[in-house]
């Protein structure tokens, strides 16, 4: 496999606690994951499946505060040059302040935001803030997206576009939806340089399958489940098991 193919590992910031999430992220990076996606725990997640919801709720019940996201990013970046993204629903960013969030995330060493519940046509404030701070903008594209919508997403995104492999919430699946294989070339035809695929990826075989037609694979629920079971040691084991290299 090309070394340019990316394996992105997702985990909620502050899970199982703040130091534990930092240790787990670093363990992922030490064992084959090439970029981190830190989720912002949120009380009303529209996309998260049961595994990630449970972990996010545990972080919130443990007292997670949004400022801890920036602490986690900074701690990871002090020990790794790997990209660190955050996946965040838009309400926490609005409540914090779009410009303030962008400034604090960039100052911590963050790479960019993945925003599942905001579309480019209503993201003018975020687009302006990311232009000013140089942060990546990762918008989501679904199999149901029209060609016009895909062109808008490709034009507005910076870094890569997140191709949703299947409709529905996150969670490991035995078989990846074939719609992802059809969606990726549509996104590229719309103008995107790089496309990563997420939702439902949980094995090295599935990562290799995605790498066959996309630039990156994103794994979430399988990693979170491993962390639930054994903390950073679980993160290390699942990362090593996921990497086809």
Which are the catalytic amino acids?
Answer: 37, 48
Query: Are 162 and 114 spatial neighbours (Cβ–Cβ below 8 Å)?
Result: yes
Q: Are 210 and 201 in contact (CB under 8 A)?
A: yes
CA dihedral (78, 126, 89, 182) positive or negative: negative
CA distance 12 to 41: 6
Please give the Cα distance from 143 to 140 (Å, whole number). 10
Query: Would you tell me how many other CB atoms lie within 10 Å of the CB of residue 241?
Result: 15
86 membership: H or E segment, kind and range: strand 84-87
Helix (H, G, I), strand (E, B) or coil at 159: coil
Report the distance separating Cα 104 and Cα 8, nearest Å.
22
Cβ atoms of residues 154 and 108 within 8 Å: no
Handedness of CA 54, 60, 64, 67 (dihedral sign): positive
Alpha-carbon dihedral sign for residues 228, 76, 66, 6: negative
């Amino acid at each position: 496999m090309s070394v340019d193919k990316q394996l992105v590992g997702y985990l909620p910031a502050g899970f199982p606690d703040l130091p534990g999430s930092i240790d787990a992220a670093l363990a992922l990076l030490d064992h084959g994951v090439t970029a981190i996606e830190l989720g912002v725990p949120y009380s009303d997640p529209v996309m998260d499946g049961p595994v990630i919801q449970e972990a996010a709720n545990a972080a919130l019940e443990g007292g997670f505060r949004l400022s801890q996201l920036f602490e986690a990013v900074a701690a990871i970046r002090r020990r790794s040059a790997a990209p660190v993204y955050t996946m965040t629903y838009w309400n926490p960013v609005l409540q914090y302040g779009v410009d303030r969030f962008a400034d604090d995330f960039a100052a911590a060493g963050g790479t960019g935001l993945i925003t599942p519940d905001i579309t480019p046509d209503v993201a003018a404030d975020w687009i302006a803030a990311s232009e000013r701070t140089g942060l990546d903008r990762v918008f989501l594209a679904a199999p149901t997206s029209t060609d016009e919508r895909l062109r808008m997403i490709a034009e507005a995104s910076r870094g890569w576009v997140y191709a949703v492999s299947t409709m529905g919430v996150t969670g490991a699946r035995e078989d990846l939806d074939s719609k992802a294989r059809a969606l990726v070339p549509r996104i590229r035809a719309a103008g995107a340089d790089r496309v990563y695929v997420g939702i439902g990826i949980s094995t090295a075989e599935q990562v290799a399958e995605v790498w066959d037609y996309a630039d990156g694979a994103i794994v979430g629920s399988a990693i979170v489940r491993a962390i639930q079971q054994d903390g950073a040691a679980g993160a290390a084991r699942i990362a090593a098991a996921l990497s086809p290299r």
